[in-house]
Amino acid sequence: MKLLRYAIGDERYVGVLVGDEIMRLGIRNMAELMGADAAFVETGVLDKLSEARSLPPLTPGKILAIGRNYAEHARELGNEAPGEPLVFAVMPSAVIGDGDVIEWEAAMTSQVDWEGELAVVIGRTARKVSEEEALDYVFGYTIANDVSARDLQTRDKQWTRAKGLDTFCPLGPAVVTADAIPNPQNLRIRTTVDGVEMQNGSTADMIFSVRYLIAQLSRAFTLHPGDVILTGTPAGVGKAQAPPRFLGDGSIVSIEIEPIGKLTNPCRVL
Ligand code: MG
């Protein structure tokens, strides 16, 4: 099932994508589909996808992200592949949706980079869960762009600003429910910038699998429904190009993961 949050005029809805139509559900928020008493109410209304404006699929309580989870990406930036997951947090206030503008002030950063990633949406409270049962806690999967200000990342020595600036966490367009992706370790991630392919990787190459990450993270933090895990990016970021290439005013970044869809965001320098 492919779930969308969308707006028509000033009204906001959640629905199921069926072809080029959206079957509207009688809920306002994807969180209502999570947990034991989740109710799935069809309204019988069909909206045209072409008339719907995409919204961020959800507002995460917390966003946990993993650095250097693909060996080739660790290498391209001159880093060792980590022996255990490198965990950091991204501000939930950084979330925007498909089609929304990634923007930043020129005075703040001049090295804005893309990171196409598989994002995991937690559906049940998870605390110290085993690797074997970890995927039972997944509500679904979406696409993330872990937008990164490389100059801030280097200068600040930790990544709160570099990866947490407003608009720096595009999510979407859809959440594909976990039943439709029984194995999250065989998905292709492609990132294009202005139509040119920059990343083409597979989640098969993650150092730490989704299962392992959920088990490990749930030892440190209680994971709640609606929390999101960014699972790391494959090789092909802008900083690793020769010469380095960064996003600028008017750049368009698209990240595609089958069967989730394509997350596209234009960029604006303020
Ligand atoms: Mg990342």
The C-alpha atoms of residue 102 and residue 33 are separated, in whole angstroms, by 29
Is residue 267's pLDDT more than 90? Answer: yes
Calculate how far, in angstroms, residue 25's C-alpha sits from the geometric centre of ligand 1. Answer: 33
Average pLDDT over residues 41-64: 94
Domain boundaries defined on the chain: 2-54, 63-269
Please give the Cα distance from 2 to 116 (Å, whole number): 20
State the distance from the centre of ligand 1 to the C-alpha of 250, rounded, in angstroms.
22
User: What number does CATH give the domain 63-269?
Assistant: 3.90.850.10
Per-residue model confidence as pLDDT tens digits over 167-198: 999 999 999 999 999 999 999 999 999 999 99
**Residue 49 pLDDT > 80:** yes
Residue 28 is predicted with a pLDDT of 87
Please tell me the distance between residue 90's alpha carbon and the centre of ligand 1 in angstroms: 10
230 CA distance to ligand 1 centroid (A)?
Answer: 7
Q: 164 φ, ψ to 5°?
A: -115, 5
* Mean pLDDT, residues 115-138 taken together: 98
**How far, in Å, is the centroid of ligand 1 from the Cα of 52?**
29
Backbone angles phi, psi at 230, to 5 degrees: -90, 125
List, for residues 11-39, the tens digit of each pLDDT value.
Answer: 999 999 999 999 999 988 898 888 766 77
Query: Which of these, 132, 158, 129, lies nearest to 224 by C-alpha position?
Result: 129
12 vs 2: CA distance, rounded Å: 17
Q: Compute φ and ψ for 250, nearest 5 degrees.
A: 95, -10
**pLDDT for 42:** 84
What is the value of pTM for the model shown? Answer: 0.97
Per-residue pLDDT, 41: 81
Evaluate if residue 210 carries a pLDDT over 80.
Answer: yes
Cα distance between residue 117 and residue 190, in whole Å: 9
Q: What are the backbone dihedrals phi and psi of residue 185, each rounded to the nearest 5 degrees, phi first?
A: -100, 25
